[in-house]
Structure formats: C-alpha cells, structure tokens
Amino acid sequence: MDGFINFMEKHFIPHASKIGNQRHLIAIRDAFTVTMPLMILGALAVMLNNLPIPAFQNFMNGIFGGEAWKGFGGAVWNGTFGVLSVLIAFLVAYNLAHHYGKDPVGTGIVSVASFFTLGAATTGMNSSGLFVALIVGIIVAEVFTRLVGNEKLVVKMPDGVPPAVARSFASLFPAMITISIFGLIAAIIAGFGIEDMFAAFYGAVQEPFMGLANSYGSALLIAFITPFLWFFGLHGANMIDPFMQAINAPAIEANNAALAAGKAAPYIVNKPFIDSFVNMGGTGVTIGLIIAIYLVGRKNKPFMVVNNLAAAPGIFNINEPLMFGLPLVLNPIMFIPFILTPMVCVSTAYFATSFGWVPAATVMPPWVTPPIIGGFLATQSFSGAILAAVNVLISIAIYVPFVSLATRQELKKVTEA
C-alpha cells in the first residue's frame, strides 16, 4: 500500500491538482455554486406543483377553485430554471474575467449580450441552452479581456470625465467586436438553414452527452473518482462538480417534463441521485463509518474522539472532520471501504431506479439534507427513503470489519506502549 501511495503521489496527484486548479473549470464550478439556491428553489416549486398525492392536489384545487394555485410554482420556475442559462453565461464570464484581473461585470454583460445575439430569447434561456451558455461565457471572457487591454481600442476621454463613464468607453470597441463575432456566427448558422441553433445544438451535442453520462459506467466512475481523489487530499467533489452540474439541471428538467407527460423519466444519474443515495454523510458514504465506529470502535479512543466531533456535521453530509481528523486521507486501512462503499451504493441505487423500484430523482434537495430524508425528497417517494436506508445499512456493513481492524491495531499499540 505504501508503494502504491508513493507512486500516486509522484505520478498522479500533480496532474490531478493541475486539473482541479484549471481556471475554466473553477469558473464553471463557482458559477453553478452561485445558482445552486435558485435551482433548489425551482426544483421545490416543481415538486409542489406535481406532488403525487391526490389528496393534496384535490385539497389545493378545492381551495383555489382549479389549478390556478400552480401559477406560483410556474412563476418561480420562470425565475430560476427558466433563466438558468442566462445566469450561467454571465457568471462564467464574470469569474474568468475576475481571474484575469479585468472588469468582471462588463465581461459578464458582454457575455449575456453575445448569448442573446445567438438567439437565446427563443429557446435557449432555460437549461436546454446550458452548454451553449458555458461555451459563450468562456469565449467571451477569453476574447473580451484581451481586447479590452489593447490601447489601440481605447476611446480616450478628456480629463474630468467620471471614472465610470471613462471605463464604459474604454470597453466600447472591445464589446462591439466581441458581440459582432457572435452575430457573424449566428448569421452563418442561419445561412445553413438552421432556424433554432439552441434546439439543434441540444439535439446534436447536449442530449447525447447527457445520455452518455446517464450510463451505469458513468455513475460508477463518478462514485469512484470522488473518494479516490479525496484519499490523496484533493477535494474530489469540487473537481467533479463542473461535470455534474453540466448534466444536472437539464436532466432534472427533462425528468419533470417526461413525468408531466405521463412518460418514464429518462435520466437516472444527476446530482440529487448522487447526493441522496451515495454521498450520505459526505463523500465515501461516511454516515456508515460514523455508525460503524459507534458499533465496534468504542475501544479506539482516537477514533471515538474524532467521531463524536464528526457525528453532528455528518448528519448534514459534512465529513471534513473525518477526512482530516480520523484521518481518511492517506489512511491505508480505510482506503478499500472508502472507495468501495460509494461504488456499491451507486450500483444498488442505479439498478433499483432502472428496474422501476424507485422513481428517478426529479427534485434537488439542499446537499445538507440528512440521509434518508434526502432520498424521499429527491424522488418524492417513500421508496426513495427506503433505498437510502438500505444503502446506509450496506455502508455500515462494509465499514465495520475495517473499523474493527483499526481498533485491534490501536489496542495493540496501547498494550505494547
């Protein structure tokens, strides 16, 4: 195990660290972090409108004399998921410009203008335009921030002009050039007879990518790579988050649309699926480790001290006390259960959903929602809560032998001392 750890630290970790610190991925991750409260609110609004409890629906219809009460959820959706791509186009460009030390607000505004120049006002404002928004945000930030630093493109204003006015004129030509580039792209695309670029891109690129990410192999890879990176001290969740967020909102929206039309939800793998059935207690399904220590690790005093501190945060899926206090990072005894447990749990959750035993996740609870409750909210079903409970039991069963082994080793050290 020591040889393996040394090999990974020498040949793998430096490259993984570079990927984790890559500015474009960080900009995308931070953009989705800002919009997370909006996505949670939008998902809850959709859940309220489509709560599969006939008594609730009849009660609300009786009070309001029909389905007019659903206008609240629809309005909230319009202000959250309905404009998600617009917000992402702004925030990605904003974050990148901030990284470059340029005008972030101006860059974000130019990005939104460029996004609408491509025709986003028709079909691209919601999650169907998400991939285009990411591309536009990155390109605008790279082009505009370079042009805005070119002295030949600066409109010099006389002394005494307010600084805000001077800055706006300094970015006049760079903004015009950047937006014109996207106008030219839109004209070229229209010249090929494509009336709706966003719908065409969604069908050609975004939908196949989401389908690929929806496979069991992808789910297994997500369950593996996050704890694997964490084992070496890298924040695996942050590194995988840009990928998860890119498929998350479109998958949830597609699932809700399918269910509203009386069809089966097409996407199993999304963020609430991972959060509710795999990341219970945090990466590695560490809620099972916490319980396992209380069951068979009471004689291990170092474990118990950390576990008592980690139990309360662990209920809300925060496991940094375990990561660095137990520790799980570079702990050879805990390597196998820490990697294996989420892979087993994602397997049970994936096949339980694909077999129709549990509904697909269509609602995104806050990631700090306690285990089992999160499974119920994500699927709007008690079967989701049962599946989460089964995965908790599985995680306990996997961790118990390794906690026992660690405890025996600790007691042996105490005896020898």
Dihedral angle over CA of 21, 247, 364, 359, nearest 10: -140
**Cβ(75)–Cβ(10) under 8 Å?**
no
Are residues 191 and 118 part of one domain?
Answer: yes
Are residues 327 and 180 part of one domain?
Answer: no
| Burial class for 372, CB neighbours closer than 10 Å (0-12, 13-18, 19+) | buried
Q: Is it the case that residue 220 has pLDDT exceeding 80? A: yes
Are residues 392 and 332 part of one domain?
Answer: yes
Q: How many domains does the chain have?
A: 2
Among 166, 191, 208, the domain-final residue is: 208
Confidence of residue 374 (pLDDT cuts 50, 70, 90): very high
- Give the amino acid at 342: P
Confidence of residue 251 (pLDDT cuts 50, 70, 90): confident
pLDDT of residue 151: 75
Are residues 147 and 54 part of one domain?
Answer: yes
Mean pLDDT computed over 400-411: 90
Dig out the tokens for 317 from the structure.
């899926």
Are residues 310 and 187 part of one domain?
Answer: no
Are residues 246 and 195 part of one domain?
Answer: no
- The overall average pLDDT reported for the chain is 85
pLDDT of residue 163: 66
Instruction: Report the C-alpha gap between 10 and 120 in whole angstroms.
Output: 46
Mark residue 200 as left, alpha or beta (left: phi above 0; alpha: psi -120 to 50; beta: remaining): alpha
Among 167, 185, 208, the domain-final residue is: 208
pLDDT in tens, 79-128: 988 888 899 999 999 999 999 988 899 999 999 999 999 988 777 787 77
**Which is nearest to 402 in space by CA: 330, 309, 321, 335?**
335
Instruction: Report the C-alpha gap between 157 and 160 in whole angstroms.
Output: 9
Q: Which of 118-132, 157-171, 262-276, 321-335 has the lowest mean pLDDT?
A: 157-171
Q: Which domain does 138 fall in, by range?
A: 2-208
- The distance from CA 417 to its chain's CA centroid, rounded to whole angstroms, is 47
Q: Is it the case that residue 385 has pLDDT exceeding 60? A: yes
Mean pLDDT computed over 237-258: 77
Q: Is it the case that residue 5 has pLDDT exceeding 60? A: no
Confidence of residue 62 (pLDDT cuts 50, 70, 90): confident
Confidence of residue 160 (pLDDT cuts 50, 70, 90): low
- The distance from CA 273 to its chain's CA centroid, rounded to whole angstroms, is 11
Instruction: Report the C-alpha gap between 25 and 10 in whole angstroms.
Output: 23
Among 169, 186, 208, the domain-final residue is: 208
**Cβ(377)–Cβ(369) under 8 Å?**
yes
**Side-chain half-sphere of 214: how many Cα atoms within 13 Å?**
21
Q: Which of 212-216, 239-243, 303-307 has the lowest mean pLDDT?
A: 239-243
Q: Which residue has the higher pLDDT, 272 or 54?
A: 272
Are residues 287 and 160 part of one domain?
Answer: no
**Which is nearest to 339 in space by CA: 181, 264, 242, 227?**
227
Q: Which residue has the higher pLDDT, 274 or 161?
A: 274
Q: Is it the case that residue 28 has pLDDT exceeding 70? A: yes
pLDDT in tens, 334-350: 889 999 999 999 999 99
Are residues 38 and 166 part of one domain?
Answer: yes
**Cβ(395)–Cβ(402) under 8 Å?**
no
Are residues 270 and 175 part of one domain?
Answer: no
In 27-106, DSSP assigns E strands to none
- Give the amino acid at 67: E
Q: Is it the case that residue 161 has pLDDT exceeding 70? A: no
Are residues 362 and 327 part of one domain?
Answer: yes
Instruction: Report the C-alpha gap between 162 and 52 in whole angstroms.
Output: 58
Q: Which of 140-144, 156-160, 360-364: highest mean pLDDT?
A: 140-144
Dig out the tokens for 100 from the structure.
């470059």
The contacts found for 55-64 with CB under 8 angstroms, 24 or more apart, are none
Q: Is it the case that residue 13 has pLDDT exceeding 60? A: no
pLDDT of residue 414: 79
In 48-185, DSSP assigns E strands to none
Instruction: Report the C-alpha gap between 95 and 70 in whole angstroms.
Output: 36
Dig out the tokens for 215 from the structure.
């496979």
Are residues 231 and 197 part of one domain?
Answer: no
Mean pLDDT computed over 271-298: 93
Are residues 174 and 273 part of one domain?
Answer: no
Q: What is the pTM of this model?
A: 0.74
pLDDT of residue 364: 84
Dig out the tokens for 110 from the structure.
């130019």
